[in-house]
Amino acid sequence: MKPRSYGAPQGEHLPAPLATLALIAALLTAYRLWVIGHLGIDLYVDEAYYWGWSQALDWGYFSKPPVIAALIAASTALLGNNLIAIKLPSLLIYPATAFALFALGRRLYSPRVGFWAGLAFMSMPLVAALGLFVSTDAPLLLCWSLALLFLLRALEREGWADWLACGAFIGIGLMSKYTMAAFLPSALLLIVLDARHRRWLARPQPWVALLLAFAILSPNLYWNWAHDFPTFRHTAEITRVGHGERGWHPGQLGEFIGAQWLSFGPLLGVLLGWALLRSRRLWRERAHRTLLLFIVPLLALVSAQALTGRANGNWAAPIFVAACLLVPAVFLTDRRRWVVAGVVVNLVASVAAYHWPDIARLTGSGLTAKNDPYKRARGWINLADGVAPFVAEHPGAILVGEDREIIAHLVYRLHPVEYAAWNPGRPPRDHYEIVTTLADKRGRDVLYVGRQPEIPAIAAHFAGSERLGKVVVPIHADFKREVYVFLLKDFQGY
């Protein structure tokens, strides 16, 4: 596909591809809404955790900036604290990102490329999976797409509006997930490597846009400073920065690359790899070069992180914004069937994943702990309901859970008057250990919910202890949720 200027295309008939993309996106979103109910799942732990954040809005949280909490707060304020309301932000943001990709494809190439870019994005296994759960990747990918769109507009126009819009979306992206920072070196390379864009380095607009981005992020930076930088510490821990386990891990790199291939889809992943192998040739075309600059640096960075430490599969998720554009732009002309087949394979794989429990039942194999991909989102409501009678019998006790997984689901379902994490002085491991404490609750009773039948180390901090009961929720023949409930009397302090 021959690239065009960054400027708005001329003489193109836009309604048909845009309307078709809108119809497909609407149908996919409606189908995913139905799937959520059909699967019979509860909230995933991170969703319940984020919902808890949304009940006490702040400028930051233990592991993430605040946008995800604000989105959930807005959705639940309108629709209540139900499953769909909590998941709705992601369900709506992914189609919005597809439309942003359409606009990018139209600007760089044609509406046809924009259509296939949006469709490739909506069909990606990564989006198909994350589309069922609310996550920080949804606003990140939208902000990345819009920041790129306004950057391309700004580079071709005089004035301030597009630069300020770009800076605003970078800032909101940073307030969604710090991965947005990777946008900046790619944007700088785009400007520095093109002689037509270098003039902007001597102009105030890009620098003011950068200042705007950091002004938007600054409340989160202040929150981190006030709380001893928990988000940065958490990020350093999961990436093993300064950690003794860093070294040479080719297996981790292989897993990460495999995750990128599966995230993009079997055939589309092959086409992306093929395009990257041809990057030296593609580099000659301005639009192709732009997209490569927003794929290769981040992919190389996270690959190096995987090789020397560890990297989750979604840490390089923003590369798929440019990848969804590059693949149809390169291959639609002479290998259109491969692009179409890639999207179809992704859609079929998504449907199979959504209906895997139905397939297991129809084939007689049944669901087990090993073959149920949704097991981590099952049984939590029933577990909390099993704990509810103990909470009702001891209304003056503080509800304490063994870990954030238990606390998040109990708080979401039971809405206890008081709850806290058990933290006898160690560095915080989750947000509950930042915002709750038992240190000033001497003399109070605690209702403790944990996975162990005996808790002598914890009981030693109380005047008396009693195991009240056990709650068991069978899920599959080889999988169940099980907790023990203790009444711990007269807290003596840590």
pLDDT at 308: 84
pLDDT at 5: 53
pLDDT at 337: 94
Distance of CA 402 to the CA centre of its chain: 25
Alpha-carbon Rg for the chain in angstroms: 25
Mention every residue, 6+ apart, whose C-beta is less than 8 A from residue 57: 66, 69, 70, 73
Q: What is the pLDDT along the chain (494 residues), one digit of tens a residue?
A: 555 555 545 444 556 899 999 999 999 999 999 999 999 999 999 999 999 999 999 999 999 999 999 999 999 999 999 999 999 999 999 999 999 999 999 999 999 999 999 999 999 999 999 999 999 999 999 999 999 999 999 999 988 999 999 999 999 999 999 999 999 999 999 999 999 999 999 999 999 999 999 999 999 999 999 999 999 888 888 776 655 556 677 888 999 999 999 999 999 999 999 999 999 999 999 999 999 999 999 999 999 988 887 788 889 999 999 999 999 999 998 899 999 999 999 999 999 999 999 999 899 888 999 999 999 999 999 999 999 999 999 999 999 999 999 999 999 999 999 999 999 988 899 999 999 999 999 999 999 999 999 999 999 999 999 999 999 999 999 999 999 999 999 999 99
Q: Domain limits of the chain? A: 15-356, 379-491
- Torsion, Cα 179 185 190 193, to 10 degrees, reads -160
CA angle 229, 233, 239 (to 5 degrees): 150
State pTM to two decimals. 0.93
pLDDT at 237: 80
Q: Is the Cα torsion angle 39, 45, 50, 56 positive or negative in sign?
A: positive
pLDDT at 243: 54
How far does the chain reach from its first CA to its final CA, in angstroms? 67
pLDDT at 2: 55
pLDDT at 6: 59
Alpha-carbon gap, residue 249 to 479, rounded angstroms: 32
Neighbours of 33 (CB within 10 A): 16
